[in-house]
Structure 1
Amino acid sequence: MAILQKKRVNFFYKQLLAVMGVNILPLLIMSALLYTNFIADYKNNLIEMMNSKINLLASTSRSGLVFNDNEAVTILLNSLKEYKAIRYVQIYNADRQLFAQYKNMGEQVDLPVEDYKDKPFFKNDNIYVSQSIMMGDDYLGVIVLSASLNSSIVHKKNYLLILSAVLLGSIIMAFILNWQLQKRLTAPIRKLITLVGYVAENKRYHKRLKSNRDDEIGDLILGVNTMLDTIETHETQLFQRANYDELTELPNRHLLMERLSHGIHTAQRNKSEMALLFLDLDRFKIINDSLGHRVGDELLVQVAAKLSNVMRKSDSISRWGGDEFVILIENVGQALDVEHIIEKIIVELERPMIVEDHLLRVSTSIGIAFFPKDGKDSLSLLKHADISMYKAKAKGPGKYEYFERSMLNDSVQRLTMEMQVHKALENKDFFLVYQPKVAVNSECIVGFEVLIRWNLNGRFVPPDEFLPVIEEVGLMYELTLWILAQACKQNKSWQRSGLLPVTIAVNLSASFIMHPNCLKNIQSILSDSGLAPRYLEIELTENTFINSRITAVSVLRTLQDIGIKIAIDDFGTGYSCMSYLKDLPIGTLKIDGSFIKGLGLSANNEGIVRSIIMLGKSLDMMIVAECVETELQRSILQSMECDIIQGYLYSKPLTVDCAETFLANARP
C-alpha cells in the first residue's frame, strides 16, 4: 500500500499565512463595521429626508384642509412624481376620512392609517412615516407617507462592491508587503537552514555565516557559528587522535594502512615499485626500563625528528607502536636507492642523543619488503617487512635485511620458540651448568661461571638461539632472577656440605641492571639463600654502559659496597669503554674467547690480549681468559701474567652433580 505523505509547508509560508490571517481579521472586522455604519447612516438620512418631505407636505396642505380644497391638495401631492422612491402619500382629515392621495404607478396602499406609528418604521423593505397636520392647537388631520427602500439596496450593493474592492486591494497589498518583509526577516534563517543542511549532508564544518545584526537572529547566528567552531575543533582533534601518534605527531598505524593501501593502488596503476621499511630500535627497552618512560618518550620524539629529517617529504613515516616505526617509500627507482636511504637512517640514529642530561645511544634494526615482489597487499608487506626486521635484529644492532621467502619458515620457528620459552619458564625446563675457573699459576679452582641450558624434547637449544627471544618477549628479568636464586642457593649448599668455598659468577643483562628493583631483588636472593655477598660475582658486557652510564655505575657501586664482585665479560668486542674504565667499580676483566683462540697463530692477536692484560693490571684488576682449550694458549697467558683461565682445557660446563664432584676433588 502506498503511503500518502502530506505536502510539506515550510516555515516561511506558515509564518506568512499566520501574519496574513492576523492582518485579514481586523480588515474584515473594520469592513463589517463600516458597512453597518453605512446602513445605519443611510437609514437615518432616509428618515430625515422623509420627515423633511412630510413636514413640508403637512404645512403646504394645511390651507387645503381648512378650505376643503381637495383639488389643490391633490395637485400638491402629484408633485411627488419626481421622487420615484415614494410609493404613496395619503392625507386624512380630522375625521380620518381620506381627503387626498398620491400613488406611484403600480403601488398599492398596504398599510391602513390606524397602523402607522408616531415614529418612522421599516417593514417589508419599505419605510413608513406619519405626521399630524396642526394649525396652532387645532388638529386638522394626518398625512402618511410610504417610500420604497429599493434605491437603498442599490446603494448598499454599490457600497459593498466598493468596500470589497478596497478590502481585496488591502489584502493584496498586505500580502505583498508582508511577503517582502518576511522574506527579509527570514533570509538569515533560510541561510542558517541551508548551512545546517550542508553540514548534515557533507559532515563538513568549515562554513560560517556573516552577520552584523544585534538582535535575536544575530545571537542565533553567533551561536551557530560558535557551535560549528567547537565541532570543527573537536573533529580536528578526533581526526588527529585517530590518525596521528600523540607523542611523536607522526601518522599512526591507522593512517599508515590508508596510505599503504593508496600507495599500492597507485603503484599498480603506474606499474611502479614501492618499499616498506620496518624499524625497531635496539636497546630501547633497557633505556625505558632503567631511566623511566619520560626519558623513553623523549627519546622516541627525537628519533621521530631524525627520521623526518632524513626522509623525503613524499615518504610516509609512521609510528607503528612502542619503539617500532614504519616508512613507506613510493616510486622506487632501484634497490640501491633504498639501500642508500637505509644507511643514512642507521648512521643518523647511531649519533648520540642527549635526553635529560643522559647521553644516549641507540641503533635500529630494519626489515625491508618491496611491492609487488614481496607482497601484493598491505598485510603481506607489513608481515614480511616485520619478519625481515627480526632477521636483521638477530644479526646484531644496526643491521638491515631484505625479505626472502625462506624467512617465512624462520618466522614460524621463531613464533614457535616464543611459545616454547613461555612454557619452559612456567614448567622450569631450564637448568644450570657450571664451568670451573682455575688460577693460572696454582691450577686451583677459584670459582664457577653459571650458564643456562635448555633441553627441548631431547635437543639442547643453544643459548644464542633462545636468549634473544627471551629478551624480546620480556622474560629476561624473570629468568635472571631464577638463575641468581638457583646459583646462590647451590653455592651455599656446597659450602654447607663442607666443600671449598668459591665464587659463583652469573651473567646479568643490561636490562636487569637498569631495572628499578635490581638492588632490592639481589639483596633479597642473598638473604634467602644465606650466601655471603663476597661469593657472588656478576658479569656484565661493555654494552651495559653505552646507555645510562650514570644509572649503571650507581647500581654497581652499591653492589660493590655490599661485597659483590663485578666483572666485565667479553671485553674488547663491544663498544669500547676504555675511556671511563678507570671510573667503574670493576674488579675483573674477562678477555673474549675470540682473542684467546688466536693465541699462537697471530702476532696481532697476541698484541691485543697483551694490551688488555696490561690495561687491567694497571687498574689493579683480575684478568680472566675464557675459551682456553690448549696448553699453548695457557702457557702464553701465563707468560702475560693472566690470573684465571676458563675453558675446555680444564673442564667443559658441568651439571650440578659433576660440578660438585669437581669441587670435591679440587686442591684447596
Structure 2
Amino acid sequence: MNILLIDDDIVDIKSIQRSISAEHSGYMLTEANTAEQALNLIENDNFDVILLDYMMPKMNGIEMLLELKRRSWLNKMAVVMISNEHSESIILKSIDAGAQDFLLKSEVTAGQLKRALLQAKKRFELEKKLVDSYQQVKELAENDHLTGLYNRYYFGEALQRSIIANRTYRANLAVMQLDLDNFKNINDSFGHDIGNTLLQEMAVRFKGILKQNDLVARIGGDEFAFILTSFSSPLYIERIAQRILTLVTHPVIIEQRHIHVTGSIGIALHPLNGHTAEDLMRYADIAMYRAKQLGKNKACLFEDNMERDFQRKYRIEIGLRHANEHGDLAMHYQPIVDTKTRQVISCEALIRWPNAKIATNPQEFMNIAEESRLINSLGRWIIETAIIEQTTISKKLGYEIIMTINLSPLQLRDHDLPAFIQDCLTKHSSKGENIVFELTETALLESDNSVHHSVSAIKELGCLIALDDFGTGYSSISHLLTFPIDIVKLDKSLLDKVHVLPRYYHILKGLSHMLHQLRISVVAEGVESAQQVAICSELNIERIQGYYFSKPMAQCSLYVTIQDLNKRASNLN
C-alpha cells in the first residue's frame, strides 16, 4: 500500500513511521511537511491512502481536502485525518469534507493504524463504486440513449440554470424547438432502424453547429431543443435556425438510400417572450406549430398573438373531443345534380358541429382534428353515418343515391381503413359502387406507399375515387395517371372567374375535354346561378353541385328536398 503522510511535526512523523514499520506489511511511506509539498507529490505519484494532519501551517487539513476535491484528486485515494485534538466537531468536519476516517495521534498503535488504513481504503473503494453507480444512473437519467444528446429532463434543468444566469448578467437567451416534418413516414416507409439512424445523424449535425456554451437535447421521438446564449440580436438566432434547417435538408445516406427530411423550428426569447422555463418551452412549441402551418421547413419566432391562437385551438380541440365522445356532431348532405336531367343522383356528406361553444367552421375544426389525430375516430364515424344514410335515403326514394365522403391524408395512412369500410358496407347492405371517397390534391402531393395502398384497396371494394378541389393551384396531371381517379371535382374558383376573365371559359372547356378523354367524370362545385348551370351544360360537365340547387341540410330534410328537386326537374323536362 502506497501511503502519503502529511505532517509538520517531526515527533509525530517518527511515531507513525515506527507504527507502520512494526507491521512489516509491505507498506511504502512517503512524508510531506507542507501542503504545497504534498500537492506536488500527489500530482506525480499514485497514493492509496493519505494520512493528513488536521493542524498544518498555511493550509489546514480541511482546506487541504477541499483543494484535493477541487482538483478532482479526492476521488482517487482514501484519506485518514489525524490530529492531537479530539473534537466531535473536527471529526464531523473532516468526514463531511471527504475523509474516510479520523484518528487521534496519541492513540495510534501499529494495529489500530493498520486497521484504519485498511478500513479507509475499503471504505474509499465502496464510496467510489457508489459514486460511479450514481454517475451511471445520473447519465441514464440525463441522457438520451439513442442519440447521446441530453434528454428532456436535463434540458429543463439546464434551462432553469441558464435563466438564472441570464437574469444576473442581463444577457439574452433563446430556446428553439425543432420537429422533423412527417418523420412518421420515414419509419413507415423504411423501418424504425433507418429512422433511428437518421435521428443519430441529426444529433451529430446539431452538435457540430453549436457554440461551447450552447446546448442541444432530444426531448421527444423526433423533437430536438436548443438553448442558445450570448447573442445581441434575434436576427442571429434566425440565422442559426436557418443554418440548422439547411443541415436537416441535406440528404442522409443510409443503407445506400438517400433519405430526405425537413424540419420546423419554433423560437422563444428570454426575457422578451417569457421569464420561466415552462413558458419558454411552451412558446417555442407554439411557434414551431405555426411554422408547420406556414408550410413546414420554416423557422418561426413566437409572437403574442400565437398564444391567443393556441388557446383557441386548444379549447376547440377539447370541445371537439367531447362532442365526438357524446354524439354532439351532426352530418349534413348537399345534393349533386345530373346536368342534363336535373335529377339528384348523389349527395356529399359534410360534418357539422351545431352546438359548438366557440364559433368555428368545419374547415377549422377538421384541421384541428387532423393535427390532434382525432381525425381517425371522427372520420370512421363520418364514414359509417354516411353509409347508413345512403341505404336509408335510397330505400325512401326507390333508386340508388350515390354518397360522397371526404377522406383526409391521415385517414389514408390508416392501414385498417379499407377493412373498416368493407365492414360498414356489409353491415349496412350498401354496395361499393354507390360510395365515392373524395381526396384532396394536397393529400396526393404528400403521397407515400401507405396512401397508394389505401386508395387501391378502397378501389378494390368497388368504391369510386374522386379528386376534389381540382384547379386550385396544386393540380398535377400525373395524379390522374398514378391514382385510380373516377371523378374530378372542379374547384368553385374556376367557375366564378369565367365572367371576370373569359379565358377561364376556355380553360374549363379544355379541362372538361381532357378529363372526358381519360374517361373521368366531371363535377362542377359552387354553382350558384342559372348562367353557371348553362355554362356547365355547354361544356358537357355531367354533374353540378351548389347553392343554386340546395345548401347542405340535415338528414331529416334531405328526403323532402331531393323529392322537390326531382319534381322540378321533371317539370322542366
1:515 to 395, 410, 414: 414
Contact between 1:582 and 1:619, CA under 8 Å: does it hold in 2? no
Q: TM-score, normalised by structure 1?
A: 0.62
Which segment drifts farther, 522-531 or 228-237? Answer: 228-237
Classify 1:527/1:249 alpha carbon distance in 2 versus 1 (closer, same or farther; 3 Å): farther
Contact between 2:176 and 2:266, CA under 8 Å: does it hold in 1? yes
Contact between 1:447 and 1:502, CA under 8 Å: does it hold in 2? yes
What is the deviation of 1:508? 1.4
Partner of 2:167: 268
Specify the code of the residue in structure 2 equivalent to 1:544: A
Classify 1:304/1:582 alpha carbon distance in 2 versus 1 (closer, same or farther; 3 Å): farther
Aligned to 2:216, the other structure's residue is in SS state: strand
Cα-to-partner distance string for 1:221-258 (whole Å, 9 max, x where unaligned): 99999999987875564344222223333322222223
2:551 to 652, 655, 666: 652
Q: Superposed, which structure 2 residues align to 1:142-153 within 5 Å?
A: none
Partner of 1:419: 318
Specify the code of the residue in structure 2 equivalent to 1:182: E
Partner of 1:245: 144
2:450 to 527, 536, 551: 551
Give the paired residue count: 487
Residues 1:388 and 2:229 aligned together = no
What is the deviation of 1:577? 4.9
What is the deviation of 1:193? 5.0
Partner of 2:393: 494
Contact between 1:360 and 1:546, CA under 8 Å: does it hold in 2? no
Residues 1:451 and 2:350 aligned together = yes
Partner of 2:23: 182
Contact between 1:553 and 1:585, CA under 8 Å: does it hold in 2? no
Residues 1:582 and 2:478 aligned together = no
Provide the rounded CA distance (Å) in 2 between the counterparts of 1:512 and 1:257.
35
Aligned to 2:274, the other structure's residue is in SS state: coil
2:501 to 594, 602, 615: 602
What is the deviation of 1:499? 3.5
Residues 1:469 and 2:383 aligned together = no
Partner of 2:304: 405
Residues 1:623 and 2:522 aligned together = yes
Classify 1:225/1:265 alpha carbon distance in 2 versus 1 (closer, same or farther; 3 Å): closer
Aligned to 2:141, the other structure's residue is in SS state: helix
Residues 1:592 and 2:491 aligned together = yes
Aligned to 2:354, the other structure's residue is in SS state: strand
Contact between 1:367 and 1:388, CA under 8 Å: does it hold in 2? yes
Contact between 2:393 and 2:401, CA under 8 Å: does it hold in 1? no
Aligned to 1:185, the other structure's residue is in SS state: coil
Provide the rounded CA distance (Å) in 2 between the counterparts of 1:610 and 1:221.
96
Partner of 1:149: none
Classify 1:257/1:482 alpha carbon distance in 2 versus 1 (closer, same or farther; 3 Å): same
Provide the rounded CA distance (Å) in 2 between the counterparts of 1:309 and 1:529.
59
What is the deviation of 1:481? 0.8
1:568 to 467, 470, 494: 467
What is the deviation of 1:588? 2.1
Provide the rounded CA distance (Å) in 1 between the counterparts of 2:416 and 2:256.
23
Partner of 1:642: 541
Q: Superposed, which structure 2 residues align to 1:122-137 within 5 Å?
A: none
Classify 1:242/1:663 alpha carbon distance in 2 versus 1 (closer, same or farther; 3 Å): same
Provide the rounded CA distance (Å) in 2 between the counterparts of 1:578 and 1:205.
72
Classify 1:181/1:546 alpha carbon distance in 2 versus 1 (closer, same or farther; 3 Å): farther
Specify the code of the residue in structure 2 equivalent to 1:416: R
Provide the rounded CA distance (Å) in 2 between the counterparts of 1:288 and 1:559.
23
Residues 1:378 and 2:378 aligned together = no
Partner of 1:213: none
Q: Superposed, which structure 2 residues align to 1:61-460 within 5 Å?
A: 179-180=20-21, 182=23, 185-187=26-28, 191-192=47-48, 237-284=136-183, 297=196, 300-301=199-200, 304=203, 307=206, 315-346=214-245, 349=248, 363-398=262-297, 400-456=299-355
Provide the rounded CA distance (Å) in 1 between the counterparts of 2:150 and 2:120.
36
Classify 1:339/1:517 alpha carbon distance in 2 versus 1 (closer, same or farther; 3 Å): same
Specify the code of the residue in structure 2 equivalent to 1:538: F
Cα-to-partner distance string for 1:571-595 (whole Å, 9 max, x where unaligned): 3557665445412222222233344
Aligned to 1:443, the other structure's residue is in SS state: coil
Contact between 2:317 and 2:369, CA under 8 Å: does it hold in 1? yes
Classify 1:495/1:369 alpha carbon distance in 2 versus 1 (closer, same or farther; 3 Å): same
Specify the code of the residue in structure 1 equivalent to 2:146: L
Contact between 2:409 and 2:443, CA under 8 Å: does it hold in 1? yes
Partner of 1:108: none
Provide the rounded CA distance (Å) in 1 between the counterparts of 2:562 and 2:542.
19
Specify the code of the residue in structure 1 equivalent to 2:26: L
Provide the rounded CA distance (Å) in 1 between the counterparts of 2:332 and 2:204.
46
Specify the code of the residue in structure 2 equivalent to 1:445: V
Which segment drifts farther, 239-248 or 506-515? Answer: 239-248
Aligned to 1:332, the other structure's residue is in SS state: coil
Aligned to 1:650, the other structure's residue is in SS state: coil
Provide the rounded CA distance (Å) in 1 between the counterparts of 2:245 and 2:261.
10
Q: Superposed, which structure 2 residues align to 1:5-84 within 5 Å?
A: none
Aligned to 1:267, the other structure's residue is in SS state: helix
Contact between 2:265 and 2:300, CA under 8 Å: does it hold in 1? yes
Contact between 1:437 and 1:449, CA under 8 Å: does it hold in 2? yes
Classify 1:278/1:491 alpha carbon distance in 2 versus 1 (closer, same or farther; 3 Å): same
2:440 to 522, 538, 541: 541
Contact between 1:500 and 1:663, CA under 8 Å: does it hold in 2? no
Provide the rounded CA distance (Å) in 1 between the counterparts of 2:168 and 2:16.
63
Provide the rounded CA distance (Å) in 2 between the counterparts of 1:307 and 1:643.
55
Contact between 1:542 and 1:575, CA under 8 Å: does it hold in 2? yes
Partner of 1:528: 427
Residues 1:505 and 2:404 aligned together = yes
Aligned to 1:277, the other structure's residue is in SS state: strand
What is the deviation of 1:639? 4.3
Which segment drifts farther, 412-421 or 573-582? Answer: 573-582
Provide the rounded CA distance (Å) in 1 between the counterparts of 2:280 and 2:16.
71
What is the deviation of 1:544? 3.0
Partner of 1:120: none
Contact between 2:75 and 2:128, CA under 8 Å: does it hold in 1? no
Contact between 1:291 and 1:514, CA under 8 Å: does it hold in 2? no
What is the deviation of 1:429? 0.5
Specify the code of the residue in structure 2 equivalent to 1:180: S
What is the deviation of 1:337? 2.9
Provide the rounded CA distance (Å) in 1 between the counterparts of 2:121 and 2:145.
32
Specify the code of the residue in structure 2 equivalent to 1:658: S
What is the deviation of 1:534? 0.8
Classify 1:222/1:174 alpha carbon distance in 2 versus 1 (closer, same or farther; 3 Å): closer
Bigger CA radius of gyration: 1
Contact between 2:252 and 2:259, CA under 8 Å: does it hold in 1? yes
What is the deviation of 1:269? 3.9
Provide the rounded CA distance (Å) in 2 between the counterparts of 1:174 and 1:294.
67
Specify the code of the residue in structure 1 equivalent to 2:402: T
Cα-to-partner distance string for 1:518-561 (whole Å, 9 max, x where unaligned): 12211111111111111111112233344562222122222212
Contact between 2:334 and 2:349, CA under 8 Å: does it hold in 1? yes
